[in-house]
């Protein structure tokens, strides 16, 4: 009764694999290409655990996917693998189209062939769960209602456009071929093992290193923040009881401007790791030119998953962000190891201005 997880060495994927082994305990076949954001150190606790079967490979490799499905016969595919950083998609959109669109297509076709060959009972129990983002819905005005599952798709970046395309493929494979799919669209995740190019881990890492804390534009871009372990529990719940073909928005009910996030992180680091001279890390905040096409506000209406499946986030932003900052302070070796030469070159190039 194994499951196949794609992208299970990345930020959300590795948290999901760790939580699955802890809460469910059945085997996980973990397929990850180990690009810059994939890190096996995230899964060090499972190094000798026979329930975790790691395979390095590309979701665009159809022969590999077919082989894994035939050998392990998973009851579900949980599809996290994606290029996911908007800034990187602006500089190099080709990889986003390849991984997010072509990779999802390859997985769907492999899953369809495998599912079609299963005996009736196993066929009825099989699931393909596609993990997506709220960014496919576009941008909201200050007083607009949050995104619901019926909100039209209006992606504004190469990243969100590629994820929107993958969502449409998943929907089409259900309606055309009957493939038993589920889709989740989540808001901004934060928590342990977050690669430090995103706002919260970048702020923590740069604060401790005495570097500038870059904030795009006026910093008033609003996001809904979801603690990653809450996201993992939501995915488990959707896999367990979600209605086939349906989409479930997963949010944290925590809308906050980016600048407020940075100040909150600074206040916590001030408390937990104060500077010797007593000054605040907030003095390192530096406003930089806004990125092209920067969406102003995202907000998730997560009432459907609560109403139909009984799920709500367990963490408030206050409790989740404290755990996140403390984790980074408690794991300096992980933080140091993840900052490879490629990462440092990327940050230097992105925030050179």
Among candidate residues 134, 197, 230, 295, the one labeled active-site is: 134
φ/ψ of 98, rounded to 5, equals: -65, -55
Active site residue 246: no
Exposure string of 288-316, with b = 16+ CB inside 10 Å and e = fewer, is eeeeeeebebbbbbbebbeeebebebebe
Cα 178 to Cα 124, 154, 182, 190, 249, distances in angstroms: 11, 26, 12, 34, 22
Q: Which residues pair with 183 in a beta bridge?
A: 130, 247
Active site residue 134: yes
Among candidate residues 137, 159, 190, 193, the one labeled active-site is: 159
Instruction: Report the first-to-last Cα separation within the chain, whole angstroms.
Output: 51
Among candidate residues 135, 230, 301, 315, the one labeled active-site is: 135
- Residues tagged active-site: 134-135, 159
């Amino acid at each position: 009764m194994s499951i196949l997880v794609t992208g299970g060495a990345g930020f959300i994927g590795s948290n999901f694999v760790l939580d699955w082994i802890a809460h469910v305990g059945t085997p996980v076949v973990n397929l990850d290409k180990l690009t810059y954001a994939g890190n096996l150190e995230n899964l060090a606790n499972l190094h000798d655990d026979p329930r975790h079967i790691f395979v390095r490979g590309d979701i665009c490799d159809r022969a590999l996917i077919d082989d894994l499905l035939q050998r392990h016969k998973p009851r579900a595919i949980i599809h996290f693998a994606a290029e996911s950083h908007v800034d990187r998609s602006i500089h190099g959109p080709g990889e986003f189209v390849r991984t997010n669109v072509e990779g999802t297509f390859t997985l769907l076709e492999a899953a369809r062939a495998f599912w079609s060959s299963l005996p009736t009972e196993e066929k009825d129990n099989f699931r393909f769960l596609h993990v997506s983002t709220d960014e496919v819905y576009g941008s909201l005005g200050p007083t607009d209602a949050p995104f619901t599952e019926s909100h039209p798709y209006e992606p504004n970046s190469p990243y969100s456009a590629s994820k929107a395309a993958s969502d449409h493929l998943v929907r089409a494979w259900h309606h055309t071929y009957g493939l038993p799919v589920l889709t989740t669209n989540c808001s901004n995740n934060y928590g342990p093992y977050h690669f430090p190019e995103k706002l919260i881990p970048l702020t923590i890492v740069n604060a401790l290193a005495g570097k500038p804390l870059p904030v795009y534009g006026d910093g008033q871009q609003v996001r809904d923040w979801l603690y990653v372990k809450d996201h993992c529990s939501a995915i488990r719940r959707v896999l367990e009881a979600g209605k086939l073909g349906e989409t479930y928005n997963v949010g944290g009910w925590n809308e906050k401007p980016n600048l407020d996030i940075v100040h909150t992180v600074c206040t916590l680091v001030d408390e937990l790791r104060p500077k010797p001279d007593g000054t605040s890390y907030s003095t390192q905040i530096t406003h930089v030119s806004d990125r092209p096409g920067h969406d102003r506000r995202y907000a998730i209406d997560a009432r459907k998953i609560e109403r139909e499946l009984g799920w709500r986030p367990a963490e408030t932003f206050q409790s989740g962000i404290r755990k996140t900052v403390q984790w980074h302070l408690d794991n300096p070796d992980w933080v140091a190891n993840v900052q490879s030469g490629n990462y440092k070159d990327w940050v230097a190039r992105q925030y050179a201005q």
